[in-house]
Homo-oligomer: A and B are copies of this chain.
């Protein structure tokens, strides 16, 4: 959701051809996340389909310039003005994974946590070792690159903090032991009773079929 919008924002500055867009994007976001060339042409076609850009004729060099439309310009402005909202619950792969792992009986969540922590720490070290680019210090590219790098560092630090918290929490719940009784109640169709206290289980714990 940011490639599309980023390309649009760059195109809002003036027509570009595909390879140029790649260059501009990479320059702005640093050498991380090298943007695949093919993706640019895909994205441009999708943008054209949505009426946000228009494709021009090839010039004498064979360069195909793309021009933003009024709708595209509005969309770019909208994107820049509106804050990025994380969904009510952003899908954090790591959190989901640990939440699932911590509630599976045969799984040793503590070990998973430790090995994840090692990997995350290593990643953070790498990020910290990553040099600022050899560009002219103070250049806009340098600024942009620093922002992206800082963002990654902050995220990695937060991940480590969270992992430590999680480890402490897990220590309090030594053994999940939450066997897969799954839905403790027998699955029933239809509208469930509201007032009745679910009639108590007593019955079969879902008897996983062989």
Residues of A whose CB lies within 8 Å of any CB of B are: 1-2, 5-6, 9-10, 12-17, 19-20, 23-25, 27-30, 32-33, 56, 59, 61-63, 65, 79-81, 83-86, 88-107, 112, 115-116, 118-120, 123, 138, 140-141, 143-148, 150-152, 154-159, 161-162, 165-166, 169-170, 172-173, 176-178, 180, 182-183, 187, 189, 208-209
- Residues of chain B within 8 A (CB-CB) of A148 are 89, 92, 95-96, 99
**Given that A101-B80, A158-B154 are known contacts, is A176 also in contact with B5, CB under 8 Å in the complex?**
no
Please tell me if the beta carbons of A120 and B83 are within 8 angstroms of each other in the complex: yes
Instruction: Evaluate contact between B101 and A9: CB separation under 8 angstroms.
Output: yes
Are A99's CB and B20's CB within 8 A?
Answer: no
C-alpha gap A32/B169 in the complex (Å): 20
Quick one: given A89-B32, A95-B148, A152-B89, are A15 and B209 in contact (CB under 8 Å)?
yes
